[in-house]
Amino acid sequence: MDLRSTLARMMRKEHIKKGRWSRFRILYLLLLILVAVSVVPLWFYGQKMVSMNREILERQENVLQTSISRSLAQEISLYMESHQRLQDFFDAVMPQAVRVRPSAYNTDPQLRATLEKLLVDRPDIIYATVLNNEGRGVQSGGYNAAGDTFLRKALESAFVAVRQVPEYRSNPITILRSGTNEPVVVLAQPVQVKEQFQGMVAAVVTLAPLLEQLQEPRRAGLEAYIVDNAGRLVASNDPDKNVAGMDMVSVPIVQKFLAWRGRARASETSLFTLTQNGRPVAMLGTYSPIPNLQWGVIVQRKLSDAFFSVGQMQRETVRWGFWSIILSLIVGVLAAKSITRPIDQLTQTARSIAQRDYSQRAVIRSRTEIGELAQTFNLMVEDIQHYISDLQTSVEQNRQLFLESIEMIAAAVDAKDPYTKGHTRRVSQYSIILARELGLPEEEVDKIQVSATLHDVGKIGVEDRVLKKPGVLNSEEFEIMRRHTVMGYEIVRQVKQLTEALPGIRWHHEALNGSGYPDGITGDQIPLMVRIISVADTFDAVSTDRPYQAGRDFPSSLEVLRRLAGTKYDPIVVDALHSAYAKGALREFDKRRQAAAPVAVAAS
């Protein structure tokens, strides 16, 4: 960083400082946009009004449903109590039934006249019958019970039941009368003489007035129906569901009523979900218990219908909000163009800088703070470019110093053993060639280079009598020599920055089949770094002269490794060495070896 560039940057800073007050303030442009944008206050107002109206409608709907369901429950209770007081009917028929012989029930005119007279006074009874103990007798009424399968079965069930109980009341049954569904119940009492069962008096009572009472909620847009204590439908104001006995247990509001097991005493309103046409529909419903019957009146409505005005307000808010957004966008685009263009330019430049292209500059001619920002940004980029250049130079110098220091240590080890001069450097270079041939990233190549350079550093602790012995080592000496791997590991592991080089130092004499040393690890336990250094170390050892053997040429050395591939050495790494040799990557080393061979022969 020279003095001229420093002075130039100082002058640019001073120029930016002087021109700061002559620029337009970006605040004015932002105020223009904020005034134009009315969406937020409109949205806030709309949401507030929707929330307030929703709370009011919820309270009103809860009151409406509760009052309607309670009123219906009371009316239905009164109506059913009037039917439960049919004792006058039974009291009028019983004396006649007892007086007549059971076999003459179907022929006795007085018994028939009594039935017909009673049915005139009780229009709610659509059918009445007196049966003897054989199920034959007289009947009267405007409905043909014998032609209705379900009603006939209900009368048969009543005939069986009154043999055991003093009175019987069936569950609601749906019949088809005058073209519409109509719920009815069967009431029956036994005919007994001296506690002996003689027959049955039964009446079919219509619940049609209940349907009329349920129509009032329908006019208010509410669905109303009655269920018994087992969750079966009694009556409904929905023509599609008006089938007595229909199972309504799956409806959540009915489940809440049934949870009280017939002991419910108060109304309850809640939200729930129904599935209609395969789609979930949110509902609001209320149940009210019918006193003394253990029945319940259910009043419900779709949530969207209950809060229709809220939904309408929301839609209006969205509609006006949409047009406000369109207007705001038009004004905002016109006002923001003067801002977005220089910002885009600055962004593109920043992206280039982030990708380490420090040659880019933001060319922005603006009298706002963005123009000032661009000039400051360009100045900052220039400073960063200089700093990074200096830093890269320092990093490379430090890296080179680091590698040279390691090589110096390795050279010191090689100098101690006259028979392996240059061995460490060659193993390091072979390892680099192999790592690149295998396609490893440069970061891994650097780690392998360091580990290969230091792989024999432990020999510095081996006695000279063993290290410099001009012959084959005996078993004791070989055991001492084997310790160099562990000694090198112990020496290097003291340096934290060299931790990643430790595997190659300790295990470069390990074998795939576990026959190596010092730990006897096998297969995948041996890291790739170690496999590379092991092949490079053996290749150099085989191809150079040693006291106990003459060095082989490169092709012969490669064949030695090929024979041991898969048992001692990694076949993939061995193949990579063959490939590197075929590509000429080892040609320079081969020339040096061939040039050194005549010298060695002459010296001998």
Q: So what's the pLDDT on residue 20?
A: 45
Residue 576 has pLDDT above 90, yes or no: yes
Q: So what's the pLDDT on residue 325?
A: 65
Sign of CA dihedral 73, 79, 85, 89: negative
- Listed ranges 159-163, 228-232, 304-308; the one with the highest mean pLDDT: 159-163
Q: So what's the pLDDT on residue 600?
A: 43
Q: So what's the pLDDT on residue 315?
A: 72
Q: What is the model's pTM?
A: 0.45
pLDDT level of residue 604 (50, 70, 90 thresholds):
very low
Q: Count other C-beta atoms under 10 Å from residue 334's C-beta.
A: 12
Q: So what's the pLDDT on residue 123?
A: 85
Q: What pLDDT, in 10s, does the model give residues 27-83? A: 456 556 655 665 667 667 667 776 777 777 778 888 888 999 999 888 888 877 766
Q: What pLDDT, in 10s, does the model give residues 97-126? A: 888 888 888 888 888 888 888 888 888 899
Average pLDDT of the segment spanning 146-174: 90
Q: So what's the pLDDT on residue 407?
A: 72
List the single range of 233-237, 304-308, 544-548, 598-602 with lowest mean pLDDT. Answer: 598-602
Looking at domain 60-306, which CATH architecture does it have?
2-Layer Sandwich (3.30)
pLDDT level of residue 147 (50, 70, 90 thresholds):
confident
Average pLDDT of the segment spanning 243-265: 89
Q: So what's the pLDDT on residue 212?
A: 84
Q: What pLDDT, in 10s, does the model give residues 398-431? A: 767 776 777 777 776 766 666 566 888 899 999 9
Helix (H/G/I), strand (E/B), else coil: 385: helix
Q: Which amino acid is it at 566?
A: G
Q: So what's the pLDDT on residue 331?
A: 67
Q: So what's the pLDDT on residue 8?
A: 53
Identify any residues that bridge with 299 across adjacent strands, giving them in sequence order: 224, 286
Q: So what's the pLDDT on residue 34?
A: 59
Average pLDDT of the segment spanning 343-357: 74
Percent of the chain with pLDDT over 70: 81
Q: So what's the pLDDT on residue 531?
A: 95
Q: So what's the pLDDT on residue 387?
A: 80
Distances (CA, A) of 504 to 129, 219, 493, 500, 532: 107, 90, 12, 9, 9
Residue 544 has pLDDT above 90, yes or no: no
Q: So what's the pLDDT on residue 38?
A: 59
Distances (CA, A) of 132 to 170, 192, 339, 492: 20, 10, 101, 114
Residue 481 has pLDDT above 60, yes or no: yes
Average pLDDT of the segment spanning 329-342: 65
**Pairwise pLDDT comparison (53 vs 304), residue with the higher score:** 304
Q: What pLDDT, in 10s, does the model give residues 387-399? A: 877 777 877 777 6
Q: So what's the pLDDT on residue 281?
A: 92
Q: So what's the pLDDT on residue 162?
A: 93
Q: So what's the pLDDT on residue 418?
A: 60
Task: For tokens 């069962």, name the residue.
Answer: 197
Rounded-to-integer distance, Cα 343 and Cα 362, Å: 10
Residue 19 has pLDDT above 50, yes or no: no
CB 468 within 8 A of CB 414: no
Q: What is the DSSP letter of 101?
A: -
Residue burial 225-259, b: 16+ Cβ < 10 Å; e: rest: bbbbbebbbbbbbeeeebbbbbebeebebbebbbe
Q: What integer best gives the mean pLDDT of the chain?
A: 81
Q: What are phi and psi of 86, to 5 degrees?
A: -85, 15
Q: Which amino acid is it at 429?
A: Q
Looking at domain 417-603, which CATH architecture does it have?
Orthogonal Bundle (1.10)
Residue 288 has pLDDT above 90, yes or no: yes
Three-state DSSP string of 267-304: CEEEEEEEEECCEEEEEEEEEEEECCCCEEEEEEEEHH
Q: What pLDDT, in 10s, does the model give residues 431-450? A: 999 999 999 999 999 999 98
Give residue limits of the domains in the chain: 3-37+315-367, 60-306, 417-603
**Pairwise pLDDT comparison (165 vs 220), residue with the higher score:** 165
